[in-house]
Structure 1
Amino acid sequence: MVRCQVVLLLLLSPILAFAQQNLFNIPSGDITPKSKVFYQHQINLYTSRFESKGHFVYGLGNGWDAGVNVVGKGVYFRPNWQLMHNDQRAQGPLYPVVMGTLQKQLVLGEKVNLNLGTQVGTNFSSVAERRTVHQFTYGLLGYTLKPGKRLLAGTYVTNSAYVGPGNNLGLLLGYEWKLNDRWYLMGDWVSGRHDQAAGVAGVMYWPAKRVQFCGGLLLANPNVPKPNGIVLEINILGWNAGH
């Protein structure tokens, strides 16, 4: 039954797929415009597995957006091929997970905004007692140096069901740096000593007004279980954002 649920999630991800909700691993500080949709799909490649994450967002207006995240899908291909699944707390974070999202942006000045958001959901398991609440809540301050050049800094609080053993409170840092109309430098960092604690440095490319391609090198924080890897993303916007 569990395998059927995971396969269903893998099949549904492209179907759900419809401004940048995340940089790589932290929120981007953007808000989806009212009545518009945004979809981001991310693949993390490691030496023994790949992970798949999908983020669907709908703009509510007045600085609000809401959505659904499906994270922790994937496949191990070493030593044997098998779908990723964990519902045992002793073995680290529980996955795959479906989470509802809600975010509010406060404009504090011409160059400064504050985003407050939360993601809350549960993992998939055929055993009811092994399903538990996951949450990731954050505050993120964005400062625009000039159009296309922005710095982000904030804090988060989460729980061990989502990130595994380690700290549940930490820092978020990120940047976007426009090189020209189509290319940006982009990176972020999640502090801590848990499964999600890592930094990513990479680039973003605009092939069209509604599509962004992103790629980067993922470097895990010291003394955490996550290995180093490569991150690939596609973002699909429901409006013409331009370059």
Structure 2
Amino acid sequence: MGAVGRFFLQSKKKGGLNTVKSFKVLPGLFVALLLFVTAQTALAQSTIFNIPSTDTVDKGKGYFEFDFLPQMPGSDSTRIYTYNPRLVAGVAKNVEAGVNFPTYHTTGLPASSPATLGYIQPNIKWKYFSNDDAGVALAGGILWNTPLNHRSGQDSFGLIYTEVSKKVKSGMHGPRFHAGPYGVVGANVDDPTKPISFSGPRAGAILGYEQPVQGRVSFVADWFSGKNNFGYFTPGVSIAVPGNGLFNAGYSFGNNSFENSNAAKNRYLFVYYGVTF
């Protein structure tokens, strides 16, 4: 999601899927931390911050992005850092395919607990309807999340979604709105004898907002509903920079951020730079 209005050039992309993992062999503290390493890097498709937008990379073009998300504030003894390089290519008219490589590193863990978790997230998006005169577009896609290490305690899962966007044409700074449903497939959450990689509701809504402010600067925000791997609200600023580049900075609030007397602290600074080539 590579979405992330976020992916733009107008194709901003971002990824974000963090995953909830339940390792039977890990200490309880680490398992609890994993419950909040979830969805900060989203999809390898054009995105705002985390949600996919209806934009796609033009056929024959490419897009590279690097996301950095430090947990702010951290817990009393640990802090999570997310690093996510992403690559997207326009493979056909209105079709893009990409791959994300999110890595989550937790400082302050016991030596017996794995401090670094890596994943691969191939994805594809198709804009199946577009009416520029009306400012309306429809798109859908899938992102598949697979662990690269500590695989005995984790399972793969996929995110599927579709959405509509509407660009307000009146005036010079008309906003664009995004809305649609999402669902999670292939995630084992019912059998305690098998690896688990997803926790919480497996369906929900995605919402996005892009508001041009002045020149190259826009205010953007997006939201995945649900207290699960994807459930974050992220407002921020998007700045188009010379050389077909894009810089976004925002702050992600997990939908469970302030539960249990703020014990979760499921909040991250979110910055990324992307370039279309």
Indicate whether the TM-score tops 0.5.
yes
Pair 1:28-2:62 in alignment: no
Match of 1:194 in 2: 228
Pair 1:74-2:98 in alignment: no
Residue 168 of structure 2 aligns to a residue whose secondary structure is strand
Whole-angstrom CA distance in 2 between matches of 1:226 and 1:197: 14
The alpha-carbon deviation at position 49 of structure 1 amounts to 1.6
The alpha-carbon deviation at position 34 of structure 1 amounts to 0.6
> Is the contact made by 1:123 and 1:134 (CA closer than 8 Å) also made in structure 2?
no
Cα 1:209–1:177 change in 2 (3 A) is farther
Higher RCO structure (Cα 8 Å, ≥6 apart): 2
Given the alignment, which residue of 134, 139, 145 partners 1:115? 139
Match of 1:214 in 2: 248
Whole-angstrom CA distance in 2 between matches of 1:163 and 1:212: 32
Whole-angstrom CA distance in 2 between matches of 1:193 and 1:139: 20
Whole-angstrom CA distance in 2 between matches of 1:213 and 1:74: 22
Q: RMSD of the TM alignment (CA)?
A: 2.4
Cα 1:69–1:186 change in 2 (3 A) is same
Given the alignment, which residue of 116, 121, 124 partners 1:84? 116
What is the total number of aligned residue pairs between the two structures?
Answer: 208
Match of 2:126 in 1: 104
Whole-angstrom CA distance in 2 between matches of 1:74 and 1:192: 21
Q: Which amino acid aligns with 2:177?
A: L
Cα 1:185–1:163 change in 2 (3 A) is farther
Match of 1:65 in 2: 96
The alpha-carbon deviation at position 132 of structure 1 amounts to 3.3
Q: Which amino acid aligns with 2:47?
A: N
Unaligned runs of 5+ in 2: 1-10, 13-45, 189-195
The alpha-carbon deviation at position 40 of structure 1 amounts to 2.0
Structure with the larger strand share: 1
Pair 1:135-2:158 in alignment: yes
Pair 1:227-2:253 in alignment: no
Residue 179 of structure 1 aligns to a residue whose secondary structure is strand
TM-score under structure 2 length normalisation: 0.68
Whole-angstrom CA distance in 2 between matches of 1:226 and 1:135: 26
Whole-angstrom CA distance in 2 between matches of 1:169 and 1:124: 25
TM-score under structure 1 length normalisation: 0.77
Whole-angstrom CA distance in 1 between matches of 2:246 and 2:174: 14
Instruction: Give aligned-pair identity as a percent.
Output: 20
The alpha-carbon deviation at position 210 of structure 1 amounts to 0.9
Whole-angstrom CA distance in 1 between matches of 2:276 and 2:63: 5
Unaligned runs of 5+ in 1: 1-18, 86-95, 239-243
Residue 271 of structure 2 aligns to a residue whose secondary structure is strand
> Is the contact made by 2:95 and 2:125 (CA closer than 8 Å) also made in structure 1?
yes
Whole-angstrom CA distance in 1 between matches of 2:214 and 2:99: 32
> Is the contact made by 2:109 and 2:115 (CA closer than 8 Å) also made in structure 1?
no
Q: Which amino acid aligns with 1:235?
A: G
Match of 2:23 in 1: none
Residue 204 of structure 1 aligns to a residue whose secondary structure is strand
Kindly provide the CA deviation profile for residues 177-215 of structure 1, in whole angstroms up to 9, marking residues without a partner as x.
Answer: 111221110110000011321100000112214111101
